[in-house]
A and B are shown apart, each in its own frame.
Chain A
């Protein structure tokens, strides 16, 4: 797709989509949204970029070797967070009792492990969706 108009429009709205996606992820515990919707909104921006500029530049934005690390890292991070609870003598994935800083209700940095996990998962979802799309686009 070598349409100049599409490319310019894409460049213009791309940052807005990404900021919105990040907002949805970060404010997941305060307002509607969360890791999965935010992550896929963020992924949509890169998908849009790929559609406008072609597969190769799109893959440059998120190469396979980075995305595979993000996916592995997301789950490993989740497991480690969960094991903190075990290490402190509680059960797997304990939040408040394990002493995560809970903060003040209604602030972004509150609710212990929730925003941390949401952020990691959001990144993971983003990378998974983009990789799915790129893998499907590839010609053998």
Chain B
């Protein structure tokens, strides 16, 4: 239980650093989506199912959609 928690937090940190490093914006957004999903999982672990559900639907679903739409209308790679 606590091991899983530690593992998830480490995953989150790694994902956040990868988002920061990735030059390709689309990949960065996809990594951010997986970050959000892992965050939802962690919140489920912390006994907050409502929040986990909302984060999975809004944070991972809708936010990603909006990002992808905007990236498709602008430029895909970071300089």
Contacts and interface: CB of A to CB of B under 8 A. Distances in A.
Interface of A: 24, 32-34, 36-37, 40-41, 43-44, 47, 129, 132-133, 136-137
B58 A37 contact: yes
B62 A136 contact: no
Interface in B11-65: 49-50, 52-54, 56-58, 61-62, 65
Contacts of A41: 57
Given A36-B57, A129-B62, 19 more contacts: A32-B52, A32-B53, A34-B54, A36-B54, A37-B53, A37-B57, A40-B54, A40-B57, A41-B57, A43-B62, A44-B61, A44-B62, A47-B65, A132-B66, A133-B62, A133-B66, A133-B69, A136-B66, A136-B69
Q: Chain B contact residues (Cβ within 8 angstroms of A): what range?
A: 10 to 19
Contacts, number: 42
10 contacts: A32-B49, A32-B52, A36-B54, A37-B54, A40-B54, A40-B62, A44-B61, A132-B62, A133-B66, A136-B69
* Chain A interface, >50% SS class: helix
Contacts of B56: 37
Contacts of B9: none
A77 B61 CA distance: 28
